[in-house]
């Protein structure tokens, strides 16, 4: 079973087509990167897949379940772009809240809490209020919450923004460890250098997928040696003279 299968997905806000006829398949246990400039439709795509917003047309399957009928959210981990956690609660309370919602038992929750805090390197801040943490640290806690219930598929919206380089390396190690365990990871990023670490990527522009495939394949097809040049070449080929 594929992690995600998207067929003709469309979503508009007024006259703006945020997602415009998206077709995409992400195999199970893949790390897939959705790339593109701000406003290209990456976040809207993730929200559509999670059922947070309803599509105007088209459908998608997440772990075999249609988004129109409701996906299995118990098997899904989501890290939004903004921290989206309770600043007036401690790190531990935030983790306990979301663990409880996912039906985790006390013992399992305690073990996983320690594990995810180790992954994000914030074990010492368990009892700190979220509001006392720096922006980067909050972002790391947000990832910890997404990983807490050991989901089968992870949607990560800009997971490495505000994360310093050494920790970013550690994050990528975690993502590849999860991939080895069969977890499908779909992430958005506009760090094109980072996208090279994905198994496959999709380049988005103005709501459309302008290219998809492995990073090496895309660079080869465009005759470039980095993804930034590949993206610029693809974008100008689609709409000459206009690069978002």
Partner 1 sequence: MKGLRFLMVTKKIFWNFRHDKRSLALMLLAPILSMMVFGIAFSGDMEDVKVVIVNLDQGYRTPVFNQSVKISQSVISNMDRDVLDISYSSSIEDGLKGVEDGTYYSLIIFPENFTMNIMAYKSAMASGNVTAIMGTTEHSTVSIRSDQAEVSVVSEVNRLVMQAIAETMEQGGFDVPIDVDASDPVYGEGATFIDMFIPGIMGFTIFLLTTTLSLITFVGERTQGTLYRLMATPITEGEIILGYALAFSILGMAQVALLIAIAVLVFDVMVVGNLLLTFLIGSMLGMVSVSLGILLSSLARRESQAIQFYPLIVMPTFLLAGIFWPLESIPAYLRPLSYGIPVTYAIKGLRSVMVRGWGVAEIWPQLLALTLFATAFLLGAVLTLKMERRRA
**Binding site residues, partner 1, CB under 8 A:** 47, 50-54, 73-74, 76, 78, 80, 82-87, 98, 101-103, 155
Smallest separation, CB 224 to partner 1 (Å): 36
Smallest separation, CB 72 to partner 1 (Å): 8
Dihedral angle computed from the Cα positions of residues 172, 76, 192 and 26, in that order, rounded to the nearest 10 degrees: 110
Of the two residues 53 and 234, which places its CB atom closer to partner 1 in the complex?
53
Smallest separation, CB 182 to partner 1 (Å): 21
- Which DSSP letter does residue 85 get? S
Smallest separation, CB 228 to partner 1 (Å): 29
Smallest separation, CB 141 to partner 1 (Å): 12
Of the two residues 117 and 153, which places its CB atom closer to partner 1 in the complex?
153
Of the two residues 80 and 215, which places its CB atom closer to partner 1 in the complex?
80
The phi and psi torsions of 24 (rounded to 5 degrees) equal -165, 140
DSSP lists the bridge partners of residue 188 as 34, 157
What does the block give as tokens for 193?
């250098």
Residues near 157 by beta carbon (within 8 Å), at least 6 away in sequence = 42, 43, 46, 78, 79, 80, 81, 187, 188
d(CA 57, CA 48): 11
Of the two residues 84 and 244, which places its CB atom closer to partner 1 in the complex?
84
Residues near 16 by beta carbon (within 8 Å), at least 6 away in sequence = none
């Amino acid at each position: 079973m594929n992690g995600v299968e998207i067929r003709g997905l469309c979503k508009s806000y007024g006259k703006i087509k945020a997602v415009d006829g998206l077709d995409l398949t992400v195999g199970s246990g893949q790390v897939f990167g959705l790339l593109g400039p701000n406003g290209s439709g990456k976040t809207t795509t993730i929200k559509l897949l999670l059922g947070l917003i309803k599509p105007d047309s088209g459908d998608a399957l997440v772990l075999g379940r249609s988004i129109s009928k409701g996906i299995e959210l118990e098997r899904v981990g989501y890290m939004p772009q903004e921290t989206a956690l309770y600043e007036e609660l401690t790190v531990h309370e935030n983790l306990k809240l979301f663990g409880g919602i996912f039906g985790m038992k006390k013992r399992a929750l305690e073990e996983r809490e320690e594990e995810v805090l180790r992954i994000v390197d914030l074990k010492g801040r368990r009892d700190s209020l979220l509001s006392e943490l720096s922006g980067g640290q909050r972002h790391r806690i947000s990832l910890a919450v997404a990983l807490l219930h050991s989901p089968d598929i992870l949607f990560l919206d800009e997971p490495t923004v505000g994360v310093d380089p050494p920790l970013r390396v550690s994050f990528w190690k975690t993502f590849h460890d999860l991939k080895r365990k069969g977890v499908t990871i779909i992430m958005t990023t506009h760090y094109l250098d980072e996208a090279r670490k994905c198994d496959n990527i999709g380049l988005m522009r103005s709501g459309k997928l302008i290219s998809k495939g492995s990073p090496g394949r895309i660079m080869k097809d465009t005759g470039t040696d980095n993804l930034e040049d590949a993206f610029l070449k693809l974008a100008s080929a689609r709409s000459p003279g206009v690069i978002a």
